Amino acid sequence: MKIFSFNPKRYKLILTMKPQTLFRLKFCCIILSFITVNFACSAQQGEQEGWNNLSAIMKKIVPPTFASHDYSIVNYGAKADGTTDCLPAIKNAIAECNKAGGGRVLVPAGTWFVKGPIHLLSNVDLHLEANAVVKFSTDADDYLPAVLTRFEGVELMNYSPLIYAYNQKNIAVTGKGTFDGQADNDHWWNWTGSKRFGWREGMPSQHDKENEPAMMQMAAKGIPAKDRLFGKGHYMRPTFVEFYSCKNILIQGVTIINSPFWLLHPTLSKNITVDGVTTNSLGPNNDGCDPESCTDVVIKNCSFTDGDDCIAIKSGRDADGRRINVPSKNIIVQDCQMKDGHGGIVIGSETSGGVENIYGQNCVMSSKNLERAIRIKSNACRGGVLKNFYFRNLKVGQVHEAVVKINMHYANEKGADCNYPPTLSGVYVNNIVSQESEYAIYIEGLDDKPVTNINFSNCNFNNVEKENFIKDAKDLHVTKTTVNGKVANINK
């Protein structure tokens, strides 16, 4: 990183220059200043235009409303003793509520056990009252038959998510209660193949050739998703909440803990509000909220303490993502707290369908176990067009690695089908204040496809250990920004 400073030798050299040389130098400086100012004005204009579009996006995101009829699961035989299977009662309440035109399915205070997944239907709000706890079975067989889902960006038939809806509209999960997946090193997490999470030599894992590798091969060959049959015997963990091909979604107020896999995973869905949700799950791949191939989403007033990314915006993986080819766009993250996790606000790595128009503002991020604040990750296997990302007014305390990291070599994946370099352009970062990190800015594009139009303004990075890392980036503009109290000059 270069810092402006006075150099006596250079000053003496200027004084001894011939008039013609000095004139040329002045002329070059004027041209350079003009170009710099022009780039800065262009960047400011692009940033302002992006933020000006925010209100129009917000107006399109309208939470669903529900009929004023309540259906208590107690009236359908549920018992709050923590052992009786309440799933039949919940299913019947949801079915009757849906048939009658909608309303709330009420889960009163108490501990309720369910031996399998809850499948929501249109016009139903599953509402947990204060001090209600729904505990899910850890027997994988309870989550069969398999349903259409995505595993890390690839469609397949797999174990049902713990809370699931397919092709429904006007659905909600609300209240002040808790959903507990009861995942731990003895249940679900050891399938990841990591000794840290309970796996031991000789145990099966998702990485065995007949599991995730087989899924990737089937997707690459174009085998229809309905014929990619996994589930029992394949050790591919389900997500917690997954609404697939749905619209008009509200997830509000609830707490979600101990998830087998990703926690909130709306997929191919539209008009989504996630408001005031708390996630606390430190298992493997325990992302907090992962909108995938979704449009018009707001995530606000939430608290994330997770074993992986707090929020990760995705759009499908590799060949399967390109086949479906639906981007994630018009997604807003605001007024959230990010604690433990691999990243606060993350785009990727499953970006094959593209990601655009992402906004993050007024968030607080800090933890010795939070690795990065903003992260954009992809690679030439994923591909995708990534553009128009806007971040402002972020308070970052401590992060383990970089405050802002852009990496187009994510996971260093290689292969015959890795000829789809992603395109990243138009990243605007304004008014970040950080207190402790290894790097302030870490950017690594691709040799043959540099990232472009990356902009930092009015940022202050404090107690940074290492110099910024910048590789394969074009049109990088840094204005009114300091690192360890010194003006940062890393324009490229």
Tell me which residues are annotated as active site.
Answer: 308, 342
Positive or negative torsion for Cα 192, 198, 200, 202? negative
What DSSP assignment string belongs to 326-349? --EEEEEEES-EE-SBS-SEEE-S
Coil, helix or strand at residue 320: helix
Which tokens go with 187?
């249940």
Give the CA dihedral 102, 272, 260, 282, nearest 10 degrees.
-130
Instruction: Name the nearest CA neighbour of 428 among 389, 460, 459, 375.
Output: 389
Backbone CA torsion sign across 63, 69, 74, 75: negative
Burial 366-395 (b: 16+ CB within 10 A, else e): bbeebbbbbbbbbbbbbbbebbbbbbbebb
Ordered DSSP codes for 8-72 = HHHHHHHHTS-HHHHHHHHHHHHHHHHHHHHHHHHHHHHHHHHHHTHHHHHHH-------S-EEE
Instruction: Decide: 378 and 422 in contact? Cβ < 8 Å.
Output: yes
H/E run at residue 449? none
Q: By three-state DSSP, how is residue 91 classified?
A: helix
Q: Can the peptide bond before residue 145 be classed as cis, meaning omega within 30 degrees of 0?
A: yes
| Side-chain half-sphere CA neighbours of 347 within 13 A | 39
Peptide bond into 224 cis (omega under 30): no
Nearest to 281 by CA among 316, 244, 256, 312: 256
